[in-house]
RNA sequence: GCGCCCAUAGCUCAGUUGGAUAGAGCGUUGGCCUCCGAAGCCAAAGGUCAGAGGUUCGAAUCCUCUUGGGCGCGCCA
């Protein structure tokens, strides 16, 4: 319907241009929106306002010329000029319900569009270090990234999801050390556990598993000086301990300890995300970039770009050439690359793979890091504008009105798994996606759990279940519960019915807009509106009435509503129960 | 100190390429089940869109400044 109107207006404006009312170079771009107020019509456009200046006439006068030139169409009941020059269109009631047929025809495809034109998009998200289980902060990134993927897919993009595994470097050494020390403790050795090592109980579990699979293979004799360092609470001692461990274990045993921890934690992360409805097309390992030589090649490539120099024995990248506030070290004085180096390699790898669009979903604490990453890809000759970064703020949990304090370092944090077990995956996803990612999120556990009208998840799901229940009722009463395809929609026309149809019409725009702005939360707000539209209609009218024609028309309308509720809930990864 | 993000109803937040009288949920108050699911609906109350300038037909939205919060600024990751 909107498309048809769009065509009518475009034709009309083109005609006016040919007639010389509008200048020859005018670009015709008509947009319609649903006005907030009903007396402003069903759709309104501000073309007369936007074109007034170039046409050299007052907006209202131009609006008058446009409406005069509009052809007769059964679609439009009435056209009015209002305010400074808005053209308000009152659509014929019968045309409003065409959307019902379209939804019933398109089913799960209703809401999709060709906005993306098949462009390839890579979304990298979560990418939590495999040094522990995912916590609720990662959960938000997971929900956002996955939902964004679903939205972009619906909008016609070719989406790939990727998890970048930071499985090399010092943090993995600390992981190995933590596991090994717990292992030694489990083998009966009495030793202190460093505060800077990973504290969580999961480390003990991995150590126990190691002992079960490899017995006493990793027991080593300890010496006094290192035993003392276990109690020292500083990074230098930790590095000394790591070196000590690697010497004592030898490379093969060290790799076994590390590899066991790495794979165990990644398995845990993977299954956690699967249960959360999040899956990835690719898990790309940092270590693999080192092993394949990509890291070395990247450093060479950067040097060849002419944007590096040596200072104090280190290799610097002149990122300030590209707007970064200062230059960055890529290779340390010691010859070891900084953490920045593999990240450059990873991003070049992404660009090399030829995506039209790349989206990094990162924790908000990484924002200062982006200018140097963009600088590095630019230095290597790529358009950094193809890389978009969305920052996700941390979620703060509340229970009983009180903030739950968390500390990753102390191993005191609520895991994503615990959250799912407590409130359920549906509520968790709904609450996460409800907010714009760059806003702080107050996550009220009591509210997410409550099976009451306070809980927005149930509110939307209830609307879906309610419709299913109506059809159930119809069957029980021996009515024909299948809606005939030729249901006479023209018998509809109650105000609530028109409101609902308008809401249904909006859905594809909502999806397109969410995709355009990378803002999945718009889906959530829309679903609440749609659920409200259904509930209101439900309370005002009976569907299962004796007039068969009207009953079927109403069933067709609410079945279309059910479909859109389902499509929208699926889009955010939440289930659509038929009863609750 | 410099940079990025943010400030909308008592609380939590929508409001996106600048549009008409700024919306929703919660909370408060008052109504609605002999009737398809009351996990629902209806109504009322609640605002200097942090403040001050500017841009224009028109600003919560764009620009500048001020105030008040969050984060970042390492040869850590």
Per-residue pLDDT reduced to its tens digit, A94-133 = 889 999 999 999 999 999 999 999 999 999 999 999 999 9
The rounded distance, in Å, linking the Cα atoms of A410 and A451 is: 34
Question: Does the nearest atom of strand B lie within 7 Å of A462's Cβ?
Answer: yes
Secondary structure of residue A81 in the 3-state scheme: strand
Give the percent of chain A with pLDDT over 70. 98
Write down the residue that tokens 């859905």 correspond to. A507
From CA A563, how far away is CA A56, in angstroms rounded? 47
pLDDT of residue A464: 97
For residue A87, the model assigns a pLDDT of 92
Is the shortest CB-to-strand distance from A528 to strand B under 7 Å? yes
pLDDT over 90 (residue A38): no
Whether A564 and A530 have beta carbons less than 8 Å apart is answered as: yes
A279 touches strand B (CB under 7 A): no
- Which nt is closest to the CA of A325, judged by C1'? B3
Between A40-54, A90-104, A505-519, the lowest mean confidence (pLDDT) is in A40-54
Q: What's the Cα-to-Cα distance from A486 to each of A98, A100, A104, A494, rounded to whole Å?
A: 12, 11, 11, 20
CB atoms within 10 A of CB A33: 13
> Pairing relation of β-strands A32-33 and A43-45?
antiparallel
Question: What is the Cα–Cα distance from A231 to A226, expressed in whole angstroms?
Answer: 9
Q: What is the pTM of this model?
A: 0.94
CB A192 within 8 A of CB A182: no
List of A residues 392-451 with CB within 7 A of strand B: 393, 435-436, 438-442, 451
Tens-digit pLDDT profile for residues A258-286: 999 999 999 999 999 999 999 999 999 99
Strand B contacted by A367 CB (< 7 A): yes
Whether A198 and A265 have beta carbons less than 8 Å apart is answered as no
A310 touches strand B (CB under 7 A): no
Q: How many CB atoms lie within 10 A of CB A358?
A: 22
- Distance B30 C1' – A534 CA (angstroms): 24
Distance from residue A546's CA to nucleotide B39's C1', rounded to whole Å:
28
Q: Which of A274, A299, A303 is nearest to A289 (CA)?
A: A299
CA A173 to CA A166: how far, in whole Å?
12
Q: Is the CB of A311 under 7 A from strand B?
A: yes
């Amino acid at each position: 319907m909107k498309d048809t109107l769009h065509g009518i207006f475009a034709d009309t404006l083109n005609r006016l241009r040919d007639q010389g009312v509008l200048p020859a170079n005018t670009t015709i771009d008509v947009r319609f929106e649903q006005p907030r107020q009903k007396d402003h019509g069903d759709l309104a456009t501000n073309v007369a306002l936007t074109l007034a200046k170039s046409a050299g006439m007052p907006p209202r006068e131009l609006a008058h010329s446009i409406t005069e030139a509009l052809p007769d169409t059964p679609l439009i009941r009435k056209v009015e000029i209002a305010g400074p020059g808005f053209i308000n269109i009152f659509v014929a009631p019968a045309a409003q319900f065409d959307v019902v047929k379209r939804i019933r025809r398109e089913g799960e495809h209703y809401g999709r569009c060709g906005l993306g034109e098949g462009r390839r998009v890579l979304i990298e998200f979560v990418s939590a270090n495999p040094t522990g289980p995912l916590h609720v902060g990662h959960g938000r990134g997971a929900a956002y990234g996955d939902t964004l993927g679903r939205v972009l897919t619906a909008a016609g993009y070719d989406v790939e999801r990727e998890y970048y595994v930071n499985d090399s470097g010092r943090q993995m050494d600390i992981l190995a050390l933590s596991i090994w020390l717990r292992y030694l403790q489990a083998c009966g050795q009495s030793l202190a556990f460093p505060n800077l090592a990973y504290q969580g109980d999961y480390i003990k579990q991995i150590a126990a598993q190691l002992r079960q699979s490899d017995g006493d293979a990793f027991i080593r004799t300890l010496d006094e000086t290192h035993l003392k360092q276990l109690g020292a609470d500083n990074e230098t001692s930790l590095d000394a301990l790591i070196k000590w461990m690697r010497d004592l274990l030898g490379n093969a045993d060290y790799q076994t300890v590390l590899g066991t921890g790495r794979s165990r934690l990644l398995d845990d992360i993977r299954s956690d995300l699967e249960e959360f409805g999040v899956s990835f097309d690719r898990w790309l390992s940092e270590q693999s970039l080192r092993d394949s030589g990509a890291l070395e090649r990247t450093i060479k490539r950067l040097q060849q770009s002419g944007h590096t120099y040596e200072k104090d024995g280190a290799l610097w990248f002149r990122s300030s050439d590209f707007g970064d506030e200062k230059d960055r070290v890529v290779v340390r004085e010691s010859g070891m690359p900084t953490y920045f180096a593999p990240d450059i390699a990873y991003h070049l790898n992404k660009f090399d793979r030829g995506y039209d669009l790349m989206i990094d979903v990162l924790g908000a604490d990484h924002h200062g890091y982006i200018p140097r990453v963009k600088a590095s890809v630019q230095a290597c000759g790529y358009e950094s504008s193809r890389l978009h970064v969305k920052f996700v703020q941390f979620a703060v949990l509340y229970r009983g009105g009180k903030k739950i304090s968390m500390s990753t370092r102390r191993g005191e944090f609520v895991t994503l798994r615990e959250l799912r077990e407590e409130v359920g995956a549906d509520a968790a996803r709904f609450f996460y996606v409800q907010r714009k990612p760059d806003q702080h999120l107050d996550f009220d556990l009591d509210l997410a759990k409550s099976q009451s009208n306070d809980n927005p998840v149930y509110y939307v799901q209830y609307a879906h279940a309610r419709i299913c229940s109506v059809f159930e009722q119809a069957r029980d009463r021996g009515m024909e519960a299948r809606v005939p395809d030729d249901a006479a929609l023209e018998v509809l026309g109650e105000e609530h019915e028109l409101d609902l149809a308008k809401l249904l019409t909006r859905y594809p725009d909502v999806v397109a807009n969410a995709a355009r702005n990378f803002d999945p939360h718009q889906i959530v707000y829309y679903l609440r509106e749609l659920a409200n539209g259904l509930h209101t209609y439900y309370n005002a009218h009976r569907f299962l009435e004796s007039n068969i024609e009207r009953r079927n028309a109403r069933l067709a309308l609410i079945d279309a509503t059910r479909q859109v509720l389902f499509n929208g809930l699926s889009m955010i990864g939440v289930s659509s129960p038929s009863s609750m």
